[in-house]
């Protein structure tokens, strides 16, 4: 029944982190499909080489993450992560187990970033405190005087974090936290992609000025313009990621043909 799902015995037994990661990987990879039953606690303990307490802790976390449904007295079933989880799963979906980058997740993150960033800037123009306005102005000055791309990205992340905080929208704030956490591991990879945006100091200042004036329409337009200024570079990156995915799929198909 569980022949296709192989868990690896865990060497470190101090936490449930590795159990959580292994089961989550099996779910998002499709090895454990929605509606399928997860092996029982005893079977998981045997396969993973951990105590029942560790397995139970991991299962509770998987349930809280929306990945499984634990039924009292019954089997534990796999949920469809595409409809049952939140932003916390994005970082895991972005980088596959083979370390390749998922182009579909990158595209989704970009679209979400533009949408949230633009509207949060509109709201910031209506709600930002004088302190937030000063913080934004100082961050643009810091960005203008920084030459290191990785450091520029850190400053820009702080800039957008401050914009979102100034918007007063808790939902946007939580969503941005997830986006930023997913983005940070890729900073070095996408450094050249975001240079047009990072070096666009004038539009950063336009955003701050519009927020300071309380001009929500101008603030939103400037934010969208800035967030879309690297569109050509992002499109090229997405095309290259899709090519890699197509090559990997072809190699897997060829491998399967040889095996048969």
Mean pLDDT rounded to a whole number for the chain: 87
Phi-psi group of 9: left, alpha or beta (phi > 0 → left; psi -120 to 50 → alpha; rest → beta): beta
pLDDT in tens, 123-162: 999 999 999 999 999 999 999 999 999 999 999 999 999 9
- Most confident stretch, 85-94, 102-111, 139-148: 139-148
pLDDT in tens, 222-251: 999 999 998 888 888 888 888 888 887 777
d(C-alpha 88, C-alpha 98), whole Å: 20
pLDDT of residue 9: 62
Instruction: Give start and end residues of each alpha helix (H) in the chain.
Output: 17-28, 41-48, 52-64, 81-84, 90-94, 103-127, 130-144, 149-167, 170-183, 195-198, 201-213, 216-227, 231-259
pLDDT in tens, 60-74: 989 988 899 998 777
Q: Which residues contact 156 (CB under 8 A, 6 or more apart)?
A: 143, 194, 197, 198
> What band does 200 get if pLDDT is binned at 50, 70 and 90?
very high
The token pair at 209 is 């000025």
pTM for the full predicted model? 0.74
> What band does 75 get if pLDDT is binned at 50, 70 and 90?
confident
> What band does 257 get if pLDDT is binned at 50, 70 and 90?
low
Cβ pair 13, 51 in contact under 8 A? yes
> What band does 13 get if pLDDT is binned at 50, 70 and 90?
very low
Residue ranges and CATH numbers for the domains of the chain are 17-85 (1.10.10.10), 90-244 (1.20.120.530)
pLDDT of residue 125: 98
pLDDT in tens, 156-180: 999 999 999 999 999 999 889 888 8
Of 20, 34, 194, 22, the closest CA to residue 106 belongs to 194
Tell me phi and psi for residue 95, to 5 degrees.
-105, 120
The gap from C-alpha 138 to its chain's centroid, in whole angstroms, comes to: 28
> What band does 2 get if pLDDT is binned at 50, 70 and 90?
low
The gap from C-alpha 246 to its chain's centroid, in whole angstroms, comes to: 22
The token pair at 96 is 């596959």
Q: What residues are paired with 78 via a beta bridge?
A: 68
* Count of residues in the chain: 260
């Amino acid at each position: 029944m569980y022949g296709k799902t192989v868990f690896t015995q865990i060497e470190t037994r101090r936490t449930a982190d590795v159990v959580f990661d292994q089961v989550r990987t099996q779910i998002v990879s499709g090895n454990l499909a929605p509606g399928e039953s997860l092996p029982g606690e005893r079977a998981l303990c045997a396969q993973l080489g951990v105590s029942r307490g560790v397995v139970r802790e991991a299962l509770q976390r998987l349930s809280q993450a929306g990945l499984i449904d634990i039924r009292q007295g019954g089997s534990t079933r796999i949920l469809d992560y595409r409809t049952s989880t939140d932003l916390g799963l994005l970082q895991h979906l972005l980088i596959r187990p083979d370390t390749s980058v998922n182009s579909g997740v990158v595209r989704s993150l970009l679209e979400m970033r533009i949408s949230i960033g633009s509207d949060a800037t509109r709201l910031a123009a209506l709600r930002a405190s004088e302190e937030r306005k000063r913080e934004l102005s100082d961050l643009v000055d810091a960005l203008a005087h920084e030459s290191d791309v990785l450091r520029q990205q850190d400053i820009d992340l702080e800039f957008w974090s401050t914009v979102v905080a100034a918007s007063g929208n808790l939902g946007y704030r939580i969503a941005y936290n997830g986006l930023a956490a997913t983005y940070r591991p890729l900073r070095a990879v996408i450094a050249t992609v975001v240079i047009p945006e990072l070096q666009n100091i004038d539009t950063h200042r336009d955003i701050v000025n519009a927020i300071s004036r309380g001009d929500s329409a101008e603030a939103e337009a400037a934010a969208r313009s800035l967030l879309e200024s690297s569109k050509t570079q992002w499109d090229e990156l997405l095309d290259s990621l899709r090519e890699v995915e197509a090559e990997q799929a072809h190699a897997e198909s060829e491998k399967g043909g040889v095996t048969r």
